[in-house]
């Protein structure tokens, strides 16, 4: 395994995106978030039809934001699928071990999720005095009272409870979670891409309301795309050189 913070592997049009910081319990540092953003952009632009999002080892999917190197630029939302990058391809989470705070946000925004039987989901932000707000989407994806319990109490949801309340699609023995996610991935890879992407758009736009922080993140994403574009550089350069700019839509 390489030293890259996030690995991207492609086989038979199925991508596997792996958070690769096992020594740090796969904590979400600024580098990890940037690499996740790059991986999801690569997925969208590639011939891969579906992705599995997982992590190195089975002790922790991720313990959430790295408090020693917290994501600031890019911010956490930029590494979240379907928020930081608009995807018309499905992403399947394969979770083992601890899945804490912002790591649960990653799982929440995947289209399907498989949990190993040692998975432990919890969201302790109310108990430590920090919250980015993206968790609010849980109330649109889970029964209201369950979502409020999860968001506000910091109580641990084991894999079976997560399955019972609809956080994950399947629970399997530890070590089999990636194989189970691959079973789903094969089905989705072999399905009609236009139908899969259409269903994703319809769900995004009509069934799953976006919370305030998510709406702000999406707007920020689009504004940053312009700010970071070659066209903006060209516009400024043309103004200084007193000439007509040549825009290329990049």
Please name every residue paired with 170 in a beta bridge, in sequence order, or none if there are none.
114
Q: What is the pLDDT of residue 126?
A: 84
Residue in the block written with tokens 């996030």: 6
Q: What is the pLDDT of residue 75?
A: 81
Domain containing residue 108 = 6-191
Q: What is the pLDDT of residue 235?
A: 73
Is 205 contained in some domain?
no
Contacts for 117 with CB less than 8 Å, ≥ 6 apart: 159, 160, 171, 172, 173, 174
Is 226 contained in some domain?
no
150's tokens: 């999860």
Is 202 contained in some domain?
no
Give CA torsion, residues 70, 125, 135, 120, to 10 deg.
90
Q: What is the pLDDT of residue 117?
A: 97
Is 238 contained in some domain?
no
Q: Are 160 and 79 in contact (CB under 8 A)?
A: no
Q: What is the pLDDT of residue 195?
A: 95
Q: What is the pLDDT of residue 244?
A: 83
Is 243 contained in some domain?
no
Please name every residue paired with 158 in a beta bridge, in sequence order, or none if there are none.
120
Q: What is the pLDDT of residue 227?
A: 65
Q: What is the pLDDT of residue 225?
A: 66
Is 52 contained in some domain?
yes
Q: What is the pLDDT of residue 217?
A: 58
Number of separate domains in the chain = 1
Segments of the chain scoring below 50 in pLDDT? none
Q: Where are the alpha helices (DSSP H) in 46-143?
A: 102-108, 125-128, 138-141
1's tokens: 């395994």
**Distance between CA atoms of residues 38 and 45, nearest Å:** 11
Q: What is the pLDDT of residue 41?
A: 95
96's tokens: 């083992």
224's tokens: 């940053």
Q: What is the pLDDT of residue 47?
A: 96
Q: Are 119 and 156 in contact (CB under 8 A)?
A: no
Is 12 contained in some domain?
yes
Domain with residue 113: its CATH number is: 3.90.226.10
Q: What is the pLDDT of residue 38?
A: 95
Q: What is the pLDDT of residue 219?
A: 58
Q: Please state, as a whole number, how many other Cβ atoms lie within 10 Å of the Cβ of residue 230.
A: 11
């Amino acid at each position: 395994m390489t030293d890259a913070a996030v690995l991207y592997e492609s086989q038979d049009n199925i991508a596997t995106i792996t958070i690769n910081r096992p020594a740090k319990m796969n904590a979400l540092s600024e580098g990890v978030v940037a690499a996740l953003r790059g991986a999801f952009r690569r997925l969208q632009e590639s011939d891969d039809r579906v992705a599995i999002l997982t992590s190195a080892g089975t002790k922790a999917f991720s313990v959430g934001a790295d408090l020693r190197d917290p994501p600031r630029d890019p911010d956490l939302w930029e590494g979240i699928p379907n928020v930081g990058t608009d995807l018309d391809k499905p992403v399947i989470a394969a979770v083992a071990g601890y899945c804490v705070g912002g790591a649960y946000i990653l799982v929440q925004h995947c289209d399907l999720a498989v949990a190993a039987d040692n998975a432990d989901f919890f969201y302790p932000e109310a108990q430590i005095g920090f919250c980015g707000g993206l968790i609010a989407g849980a109330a649109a994806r889970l029964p209201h009272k369950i979502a409020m319990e999860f968001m506000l109490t910091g109580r641990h949801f084991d894999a079976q409870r997560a399955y019972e309340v609809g956080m994950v699609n399947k629970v399997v023995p530890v070590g089999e979670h990636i194989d189970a996610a691959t079973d789903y991935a094969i089905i989705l890879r072999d399905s009609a891409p236009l139908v899969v992407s259409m269903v994703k758009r319809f769900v995004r736009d009509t069934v799953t309301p976006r919370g305030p922080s998510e709406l702000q993140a999406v707007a920020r994403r689009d504004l940053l795309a312009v700010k970071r574009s070659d066209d903006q550089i060209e516009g400024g350069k043309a103004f200084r050189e007193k000439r007509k700019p040549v825009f290329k839509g990049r």
